[in-house]
Amino acid sequence: MHPGGADIILRHAGKDVDEIFSSIHSPTVLKMLRPDQCVGMINVKELPSRQGDIEEQARIKRAREAIPPVAAMVNLYDFEEIAKKVLSNTAWAYYSSAAEDEASHANNLNSFKRYWFRPRVMRAVADIDMKTSILGVDTALPIFVSPAALAGLGHPEGEVNITRGAGKAGIIQGISSNASRTIEDIAAARIDGQALFFQLYINKDRKESERIIRQIDDLGFKGIMLTVDAPVLGKRERDIRNRPPVSDDETPGGKRGVSANLDSFFEINLQWADVAWLKGITSLPIVIKGIQTVEDVELAIEHGADAVYLSCHGGRQLDYAPAAMDVLWELRQRRPECFAKAEIYIDGGVRRGSDVVKALALGAKAVGLGRPFLYANGTYGERGVKRAIEILEEEIATTMRLVGARSLSELVPDMVQRDDVAFVALRDRQ
């Protein structure tokens, strides 16, 4: 039985699925099959034509021939605009999709506009230092690659491109449990000393989780990002609509799209006591990812989290969940002592170096980005990843100089204020 269910088999029966398969699975996955599981050879030339695929491939070819040089990318939004044109419909629908009305996704993007700087002037800012560490691992910039599934939908090399780009820039990459490439492939792409963190969804079969943890430990991963905001997957309608049903009998309950079965192994009854279980089987530091309230920050610290990762999963899970930037602000106002008890990270809606600086000033140790790296990889591959990091580095440096901070330690809460009136005026003008 295919792990995605019978519908996937029936939908593609008698058709050439090489391109679809390769965009989701590592080239090494077929080596896992036993010889007796190969039931025969297929003559691809005899398969029926997939006219829709041919037309889409022609569209993508034309778009890629017209793509500007990567040096023309001025900001992260530019990658997204190019991605709309050059990605397959499947890739675009999956990467851009968010839950239901996509309110949380939009709010993530808008949340940083609610926070304005209080810059300090007359400071010598010719030399600035953007280096920091994440759980003791040095990083050249206070940003990291958030774990995001299926980078192979955008580029055949998938996560490997992102690993190479992140390694050359000296930043940390979080690896998704649902990566297109195997963790062995990704680990092999590292440069000397490069750090990777693994995103863990605890499996209903705990022995499988234990096996994966032993594997990443053996491969030298530096930490675990335990993801806790996805007992089930949110309803991602763009992704669902991209895979319309072929009959009334298909997909009871409406589970369709690339993401339809990503949660098939998730432990739906995950509880705080499971943190102790996890800490009992690994010595790797534990980051609890998907915290969305101040109360749960306190519980995460109480249960032994080494770091707390504020995130609403890019707006892909619960629609109308709060933006991480707003939770960070609330944490600073209500429980500032938490910043001394655990490292705090955020992601969600980060598109500018100034967004990063605002979060750092409020106490975040580092800031993650997910979709921008998927778009950068999907448009230009490794070159795109490197250019995206360069853009962020340039913008962080400029913003630090303009707010009067020569090092990350000089970014303090007094440099940021919340201004909802200014945000409303800005929103109405747009």
Q: What is the pLDDT of residues 350-387, one digit of tens each?
A: 999 999 999 999 999 999 999 999 999 999 999 999 99
Give percent of the chain with pLDDT exceeding 70. Answer: 85
Q: Could you please report the per-residue DSSP string of 34-63?
A: -GGG------GGGSPP-HHHHHHHHHHHHH
Structure tokens that stand for 52 in this block: 């829709």
pLDDT at 21: 58
Higher-confidence position of 15 and 161: 161
Q: Could you please report the per-residue DSSP string of 96-137?
A: H--BTT-HHHHHHHHHGGGEEE----S---SS-B--EEETTE
Residues annotated as catalytic are 201, 229, 313
Distance CA 225, CA 307 (A): 9
Element (H, E) at 417: strand 416-418
Q: Characterise 244 by phi-psi region: left (phi > 0), alpha (psi -120 to 50), beta (else).
A: beta
Q: Of the candidates 285, 23, 336, 294, which has an alpha carbon nearest to the alpha carbon of residue 172?
A: 285
pLDDT at 47: 63
Give percent of the chain with pLDDT exceeding 90. Answer: 79
Partners of 203 in the β-ladder? 266
The answer on pLDDT for 334 being more than 90 is: yes
pLDDT at 257: 81
H helices present in 134-236, as ranges: 159-169, 183-188, 206-218
The answer on pLDDT for 287 being more than 70 is: yes
CB 325 within 8 A of CB 358: yes
Distance CA 159, CA 198 (A): 13
Mean pLDDT of the chain: 90
Q: Which has the minimum average pLDDT: 145-159, 193-207, 416-430?
A: 416-430
Global confidence as pTM: 0.90
Q: Could you please report the per-residue DSSP string of 345-375?
A: EEESS--SHHHHHHHHHTT-SEEEESHHHHH
Distance CA 397, CA 16 (A): 49
For 289-317, the pLDDT digits (tens) are 999 999 999 999 999 999 999 999 999 99
Q: Which has the minimum average pLDDT: 33-47, 83-97, 186-200?
A: 33-47
Q: How many CB atoms lie within 10 A of CB 112?
A: 22
Which band of pLDDT confidence, cut at 50, 70 and 90, is reported for residue 88? very high
Kindly give the interhelix angle for 294-302 and 324-334, rounded to the nearest 10 degrees: 70
pLDDT at 327: 98
The answer on pLDDT for 2 being more than 60 is: no
Q: Of the candidates 205, 241, 228, 355, which has an alpha carbon nearest to the alpha carbon of residue 292?
A: 228
Distance CA 21, CA 19 (A): 5
